[in-house]
Amino acid sequence: MKNKNHHRWIHRLPIFMTGVALSLIVANPGICEVTPKAKDDTVTQTIETLKQSDQRWIQINLSKQRLIAWEGKTPIYAIVISTGKKSTPTRIGSFKIQSKHKSTRMRGRNYDVPDVPYTMYYQGSYGIHGAYWHNKFGTPVSHGCINVAPNHAKWLFNWASVGTPVFIHK
């Protein structure tokens, strides 16, 4: 019996971690699974529409602790992240980058962190930003934000603009 999973090509996408480089293998991105399990078909339809365009968008997978930056259907940058811990979870849903700050102070219950680099807020005080105070990427440790190594946060900050869609799912 022939293998029915023949792919015309395989694209290797580097996944960056602090001090470690991994590869994400995407076989035939046209059928690549990027659609979160959504109760709302609107998110699925929006992702499918973005995949048919050349628009930039960000996918965050909470269960895998991964962020992928996309241009249409092409994944161009993948990194290991840290999202919210159980007591302070990261919100699931469809958002857009609302504002960008090269450096900002973040305050909340039980934390006050100055000079947070490359912050992109997508809903209220929730954002994607550099985290210089820990090296636990791949583990949920934040107060709900998407923590990224500062060098990767800089890349994302320069790549994304206000209005860039952000999809967060389990």
* Per annotation, catalytic residue among 143, 145, 152, 169: 145
Task: Copy the structure tokens of residue 82.
Answer: 């840290």
- Whether residue 129 lies in the annotated active site: yes
Structure tokens at 152: 């990767």
Q: Which of 129, 143, 152, 169 is catalytic?
A: 129
Does residue 145 carry a catalytic annotation? yes
Q: Three-state DSSP class for 67? A: strand
Cross-strand partners of 68: 59, 78
Distances (CA, A) of 55 to 38, 48, 51, 137: 21, 12, 8, 27
CB atoms within 10 A of CB 169: 18
Q: Do 58 and 160 contact (CB within 8 A), yes or no? A: yes
**Alpha-carbon dihedral sign for residues 55, 16, 66, 140:** negative
- For residue 57, what are its two tokens? 């968008």
**Measured between alpha carbons, how far is 50 from 59 in angstroms, rounded to an integer?**
11
Return the active site residues. Answer: 129, 145
